[in-house]
Amino acid sequence: MVPARRVYLLLVLGIAIAPILCFFLSIPASIAVILLFDILVLGLMIVDGLRSRTLRVEIQRELPPRLSIGRDNPVLLTVKSPKSQAVIQIRDYYPAEFGVSATTLQTTVASNSTQELTYTVNPTQRGQFPWGNIQVRQLGRWGFAWDDWQIPQSLPVKVYPDLLGLRSLSIKLTLQSSGSIRKVRQMGIGTEFAELRNYRTGDDLRFIDWKATARRVGAYSNTPPLVRVLEPEQEQTLLILLDRGRLMTAKVQGLQRFDWGMNATLSLALAGLHRGDRVGVGVFDRQMHTWIAPERGQSHLSQLIDRLTPIQPVLLESDYLGAVTSVVQRQTRRALVVVITDLVDVTASTELLAALSKLAPRYLPFCVTLRDPQVDRLAHTFTENVTETYGRAVALDLLAQRQVAFAQLKQKGVLVLDAPANQITDQLVERYLQLKARNQL
């Protein structure tokens, strides 16, 4: 039981009127009146608090089955007031590691009605966390006391990679495949036959199917030639190597760089599986920590999520050459090999350059680096003092060294994508879809 604001106001009022009573009554009589007044207020508070216990609301919590890291995950609280109107305050004991949109919820529920309250939690770490009980305060009908109690609803919750982003991407890819979003087929790009259509102005004459045209002309006169439309081969191999070494432990926009990389890995895997590719994933540091062999089919995505979710980055230097050697030993056929990591400078990228050069031309190497947007902001912000100028100079030097390293990678036939860590997923998926459309693999 917790005193309400009305109790404190009445007690302060009793102290304020004490001097006035002294003008009309003796001091002992004034003290007695004030004591009786205070006892009355406290008695009403106790009675009001005890009565409210028989009118307690019922609350149920509903959580998503899997929480997504770095996302606002909705939490639904259903409040039912069985007997009378209830003024309540709710504090849910979510894990301390989570960000939250509202620490305390307050509402008024009408009698014999149900109300739904929603707030969001934003986890910044993957793993399993304990979720505690629900703390409730309900104001008595007289407004003198809050009935304070807990509803036992503790349970463990698991935080996964960005599953909400995967769901949105899956819908987008499905719409593209079904034709709800216009699918563009380019003439002369691809190896698999898609369809025959009438010749249009600007089509390459090399792709006219003269035999099909002759058969058609035999039946119909004055008909345009038929053109063969090709599309990229679907059943290819996509291998994703995710670095979990020292560089991936740094935090970017509230999440570790490794978590941004894992979100990008799963999104790219989803895109590959949607396009019919065989997708495999390797996570490495000094050695190949986890290897998931390439498979196709949407069921493979669940295996990837379950296997990758428990993995955390470590403070170890990554062995790029060892990771690439492991891929070469396991994958003999040509494949698109995507390495998700980060660069510091030209010197530190020497081993990465040597490793990716080993893949070309037998494989198609693709280096993806996760840039810190804070460095971009420092490099492009005008400075007014010496300290900020030094910081900007360092940021500009880091960006310049990255560009030199990327130029060296491109000279060796390595595809490169460098983007802010919080934007890497969309850009990587889009780049992969472009590679498929152009049949570069």
Nearest to 126 by CA among 201, 181, 71: 71
How far from chain centre, in Å, is Cα 340?
Answer: 17
The lowest-confidence range among 129-133, 261-265, 393-397 is 393-397
Token pair 């890291």: residue: 69
Radius of gyration (Cα) for the chain, nearest Å? 33
* Structure confidence by residue, pLDDT tens digits, 330-350: 998 899 999 999 987 777 778
d(CA 136, CA 80): 13
Question: What mean pLDDT is predicted for residues 176-199?
Answer: 58
Cα 264 to the center of its chain, rounded Å: 10
Say if residue 158's pLDDT is above 80: yes
Distance CA 205, CA 201 (A): 10
Per-residue pLDDT band for 192 (boundaries 50, 70, 90) equals: low
Q: What angle do CA 380, 384, 387 make, to 5 degrees?
A: 85
Sequence-ordered list of residues with C-beta below 8 angstroms from that of 359, at least 6 positions apart, any chain: 324, 327, 328, 337, 365, 414
Query: Would you state the pLDDT for residue 219?
Result: 55
Instruction: Rank 48-57, 152-161, 168-177 by mean pLDDT and report only the highest.
Output: 152-161
How far apart, in whole angstroms, are the C-alpha atoms of residue 207 and residue 413? 30
DSSP 69-103: TTS-EEEEEEEEESSS-EEEEEEE---TTEEES-S
> Percent of the chain, pLDDT > 70?
93
Judged against a pLDDT cut of 80, whether residue 184 lies above it is answered with no
C-alpha to C-alpha distances, 330 to 1, 172, 320, 358, nearest whole angstrom: 67, 32, 16, 15
CA dist., res. 335 & res. 277, Å (int): 10
Helix (H) or strand (E) holding 252: strand 251-252
Q: Is the pLDDT of residue 155 over 70?
A: yes
The pLDDT value recorded for residue 186 is: 46
| Phi, psi of 315, deg, nearest 5 | -85, 65
Q: Average pLDDT for residues 322-331, to the nearest whole number?
A: 93
Instruction: Tell me the per-residue pLDDT of 99-121, one tens digit each, with 9 for 90 and over.
Output: 999 999 999 999 889 999 999 99
Residue 327's pLDDT is what? 93
Please answer whether residues 350 and 412 qualify as being in contact, where contact means their C-beta atoms are separated by less than 8 angstroms: no
The mean of the pLDDT values for the chain is 87
- Give me the residue label for tokens 């004490």: 18
Residue 304: which H helix or E strand, with range?
helix 299-308
Q: Does position 187 have pLDDT exceeding 60, yes or no?
A: no
pTM beyond cutoff 0.75: yes
φ, ψ of residue 432 to 5 degrees: the values are -65, -45
The yes-or-no verdict on residue 182 having pLDDT over 50 is no
Q: Which long-range contacts (CB under 8 A, 24 or more apart) does 221-228 make?
A: 223/198, 224/198, 224/199, 225/198, 225/199, 226/196, 226/197, 226/198, 226/199, 227/187, 227/196, 227/197, 227/198, 227/199, 227/200, 227/203, 228/193, 228/196
Rounded Cα gap, residues 18 and 22, in angstroms: 7
Q: How does pLDDT run across 368-385, given as a tens digit for each residue?
A: 999 998 888 888 888 888
Q: In the prediction, which pLDDT does 183 show?
A: 46
Percent of the chain with pLDDT over 90: 50
CB 2 within 8 A of CB 137: yes
Compute the average pLDDT of residues 34-53: 86
204 in helix, strand or coil? coil
Residues 6+ apart with CB under 8 A from 312: 126, 244, 258
pLDDT at 233: 55
Residue matched to tokens 């970017």: 252
Separation of alpha carbons 405 and 411, rounded Å: 10
Question: Residue 180: its pLDDT value, please?
Answer: 42
Q: Does the pLDDT of residue 323 top 80, yes or no?
A: yes
3-state helix, strand, coil in the chain (%, to 5): 40, 30, 30
Distance of alpha carbon 263 from alpha carbon 269, whole angstroms: 10
What's the pLDDT score for residue 385?
A: 83
In this prediction, residue 141 carries a pLDDT of 86
Report d(CA 266, CA 240) in Å as an integer.
Answer: 9
State the pLDDT at residue 250.
Answer: 92
- Per-residue model confidence (pLDDT) at position 394: 82
Report residue 264 as tokens: 């990008």
pLDDT at 221: 57
When pLDDT is averaged across residues 413-417 and rounded to a whole number, the result is 92
Q: Which of 90-99, 112-121, 170-179, 252-261 has the lowest mean pLDDT?
A: 170-179
Pick from 24-38, 53-67, 126-140, 272-286: least confident: 24-38
Q: Provide the pLDDT for residue 185.
A: 46
Sheet holding 73-81, edge to edge: 58-62, 73-81, 113-123, 98-100
The pLDDT tens digits of the residues spanning 202-237 come to 777 778 888 888 877 665 556 788 887 766 555 689
